Structure 1
């Protein structure tokens, strides 16, 4: 395994620290990090609805 560039590690750590829900995918070619993909999810609470009763 090759030594990982500190700049790349800093970017990965920064992205993880700012990610609440989602995933981070690191692509490696020939032992080198070549790409970082982030999929972020935003969650919204659904408004509560009142169900009407049938009489």
Structure 2
């Protein structure tokens, strides 16, 4: 896979993750200068927690 194709694939995954997350974080894992993994940690906020 050429570098531009790799970046396009990474960008597509990031775009999909950003569109689907409300609260949380997205982490890129880099090894030897290349993105090898993308992690999404999403938080769910419950309405009844506001009254505590």
Q: TM-score range by the shorter chain?
A: 0.7 to 0.9
Q: Structure 2: which 5+ runs fail to align?
A: none
Larger radius of gyration: 1
* Divergent runs of 4+, >2 A: none
* Aligned residues between the structures: 46
TM (normalized to structure 1)?
A: 0.70
CA RMSD of aligned residues (A): 1.7
Q: Structure 1: which 5+ runs fail to align?
A: 49-55
Q: Which has the higher contact order (CA 8 A, sep 6+)?
A: 1
TM (normalized to structure 2)?
A: 0.73
